[in-house]
Amino acid sequence: FVGVDYSEFLSGIMYYPSTNGREFGGMEPKIVLGENCVGLFEINNELYAVTCYNSCTEAPTNVSLYRLIYPTKENGLKCYAEKITEIPDVNFANAATATDDGLIYVVTTEHFYSISTDGTVTNIDVPEEWMYLCKDSIVEVNRDIYVGTHCGILRYEPVMDKFTWFPADYENMIIK
């Protein structure tokens, strides 16, 4: 599976059937989902995708979590996406990451969510400044979640349900 974020040419999740460079069962590459791919994650030997609105489609879609199913002889060599859940009334996500304990964290303009693989969505309370931070990346390191912004890094500690702000030191970053 290959995930593609919005572009004028292609957006979505593609399945490319190959095994060590050989075609799998004579299958051709195919689009599995036509929504923007925010992230692909392997959790407990299963592949998951977080998607959001694709401006090339007619109807807006909510941010969604899918389980991606590989083709097998048991399922008739079909690959498909099984929708697990969606975040109501939220159609764009900036970034997403998965943790070792099976949670997926999703950053949006206004909110911060955790989604479990069983479909449970939790809206995490965020600092007042959240809306004004240009959030563009997220990563898990040692069980903490780091959200990259244009102004610095925001660390979320799930165990403490606590945010810590690390502002960028622009005085030392600017070339003089």
Residue 48's pLDDT is 94
- Mean pLDDT estimate for the chain: 83
Element (H, E) at 131: none
Q: How confident is the model at residue 6 (pLDDT cuts 50, 70, 90)?
A: low
Between 23-32, 119-128, 161-170, the lowest mean confidence (pLDDT) is in: 23-32
Residue 27's pLDDT is 63
Task: Kindly tell me if the per-residue pLDDT of 26 is higher than 60.
Answer: no
Q: How confident is the model at residue 75 (pLDDT cuts 50, 70, 90)?
A: confident
Residue 175's pLDDT is 56
Q: How confident is the model at residue 4 (pLDDT cuts 50, 70, 90)?
A: low
Q: How confident is the model at residue 57 (pLDDT cuts 50, 70, 90)?
A: low
Element (H, E) at 11: none
Position with higher pLDDT, 138 vs 61: 138
| Maximum separation of any 2 CA atoms in the chain, in Å | 64
Residue 92's pLDDT is 85
Residues contacting 90, CB < 8 A, separation 6+: 62, 63, 108, 110, 111
Sheet holding 121-124, edge to edge: 95-98, 103-107, 112-116, 121-124
